[in-house]
Structure 1
Amino acid sequence: MSSQPTIVLVHGFWGGAAHWGRVIVELARKGHRLRAVELPLTSLADDVERTRKMVAQVDGPVLLVGHSYGGAVITEAGNHPNVVGLVYVAAFAPDAGESPVGITQQSLPQAAPDLAPDSDGYLWLNPDKFHQDFCQDLSADDGLVMGVTQKAPLAGTFGDTIATPAWKSKPSWYQISSQDRMISPENQRRMSARLGAKKVIELEASHASLASRPAEIAALIDEAAAAV
């Protein structure tokens, strides 16, 4: 068994595992073993449990990588003993007792007015605004597809809190998107500063940096995998 960790990728709100597609290709070319979780987005507890189950199936160390709300998921799921490090990609990194919505309210993102729940309690990003809000540095066609295929979370998930943040005991890395309209760059800088991260990089990128800047994201993940 190789000591190189298996990389487990965790998506966020309004997307699925396929959002990692371009990063997966970059990391596969570097020889990494990869898994990608498909979250139910029904509650933080459900999403953490789904991630923990995938981690538990890996024989050997795991590097968890979370985008957006996926950062909250890896913050809790990262306490699994297999996990040796955490990489945050334009992501929430809550402290104990914090929720994504609580962090969001500290510095509201530009896209906040374009979020609305439906009659079933699912929180949607207006498809007509998806390109400008989520992935403005991708093509209009990419934005159209992402907007139409978005995976909305149950709105209550946004308010679920972290119990034990794994970043307090596991090494971490963080990528800030300076043009992010979904999680304000100010909140990203604040969260990354308190992590005591091994490395923080800032890219002039949208919230969808995993799709618009896959080479840089893959390089950060590759560096983290080599260090754990």
Structure 2
Amino acid sequence: MNKKIFVSLALTLLSFAWANGQAPARTANGKPTVVFVHGLWADGSSWSKVIAPLLASGYPVISVQNPTTSLEDDVAATKRAIARAEGDVVLVGHSWGGFVISEAGNDPKVKALVYVAALMPDNGETIPSLSAKAAATKLGTFLKPADGFLTLSKEGVMQAFAGDVSKAEQELIFATQPPASESVFKAEASNVAWKQKPSWYIVATKDGAINPDLERMMAKRGNAKTTEISASHVPMVSKPAEVLKVVKEAADSVK
């Protein structure tokens, strides 16, 4: 076949696939897109220290900006990111983001799930019912309610959320946190994706927001490949190289 005709035919087929909502199965370099989903009192920039080296290694990356107004809203935001992604997707969720990826991860483009100090609920569970499976942490004592939303005090950032990062980073986390709707604490998991998708889990052994024993329980229950990191609730900020290693392992498992 004439080379020019072959190229034209290939472009036509690709355009047809996109027109019908079908993304190519692979990106140009064969790497899946890594989609990051942040938790409560954080935003998409919380993944910056992991995103930069992934981009340098050729991985396409999208970091979701969750509104943290409801489970449905956050799942919808994540699904929009999955739809934008080229080819296969690895979903990475932190904290509440684990709840979100458990729901959004049923999309057929999603091939692996990574939970980073995250909630990994079973069907029918809420944050309170899941948290009750282990001793309470001190995070709840630092939450400030206002107009149906909760914010985290500066003391909470330092003592329960991000105790092992620099003061400047703690100040940044406090300043950029979006308020979280109280409705997320009533949200109930349904049709969780980790029952069908391979999963990885990072336990933060110094976590003051989610009990590390609860993290271990969820990881074991979900048959996730588990790595323990000596870190606070934000290992992607305090120990990004160790988080990066796990994310790459999950991404490289996608064939």
**Same fold by TM-score greater than 0.5:** yes
CA–CA distance in structure 1, aligned partners of residues 242 and 185 of structure 2: 28
Q: CA contact under 8 A between 1:102 and 1:159: conserved in structure 2? A: no
2:131 to 97, 100, 104: 104
Per-residue CA shift, 1:39-67, capped at 9, x if unaligned? 01110011001111110122311000000
CA–CA distance in structure 1, aligned partners of residues 119 and 237 of structure 2: 18
**Overall identity of the aligned pairs, in %:** 40
Per-residue CA shift, 1:100-154, capped at 9, x if unaligned? 2221233311222112321x11111112331221111101121122112211210
Structure 2 unaligned segments of length 5 or more: list them: 1-25
The yes-or-no answer on 1:216 pairing with 2:242 is yes
CA–CA distance in structure 2, aligned partners of residues 212 and 27 of structure 1: 17
Q: Partner amino acid for 1:214?
A: P
Give the match's secondary structure for 2:132.
helix
Partner in structure 2 of residue 31 of structure 1: 58
Q: CA contact under 8 A between 1:205 and 1:213: conserved in structure 2? A: yes
Q: Of the two structures, which has the highest relative contact order with CA contacts closer than 8 Å and spacing of 6 or more? A: 1
Q: Relative to structure 2, which stretch is displaced further, 64-73 or 92-101?
A: 92-101
The yes-or-no answer on 1:113 pairing with 2:154 is no
1:13-28 alignment runs, 5 A limit: 13-28=40-55
Give me the TM-score of the superposition, normalised by structure 1. 0.96
Per-residue CA shift, 1:27-48, capped at 9, x if unaligned? 1222211000000111001100
Give me the TM-score of the superposition, normalised by structure 2. 0.86
Per-residue CA shift, 1:185-219, capped at 9, x if unaligned? 0110100001111x210011000101001001011
Q: CA contact under 8 A between 1:14 and 1:152: conserved in structure 2? A: yes
Structure 1 unaligned segments of length 5 or more: list them: none
CA–CA distance in structure 1, aligned partners of residues 51 and 102 of structure 2: 21
CA–CA distance in structure 2, aligned partners of residues 146 and 53 of structure 1: 25
Count of paired positions? 226
Q: CA contact under 8 A between 1:26 and 1:214: conserved in structure 2? A: no
Give the match's secondary structure for 2:171.
helix
Partner in structure 1 of residue 252 of structure 2: 226
Q: After the TM superposition, list the runs of 4 or more consecutive aligned residues in structure 1 that deviate by more than 3 angstroms.
A: none
Q: CA contact under 8 A between 1:63 and 1:83: conserved in structure 2? A: yes
CA–CA distance in structure 1, aligned partners of residues 163 and 230 of structure 2: 11
State which structure, 1 or 2, has the greater radius of gyration over its C-alpha atoms: 2
Give the match's secondary structure for 1:93.
coil
Q: Partner amino acid for 1:177?
A: A
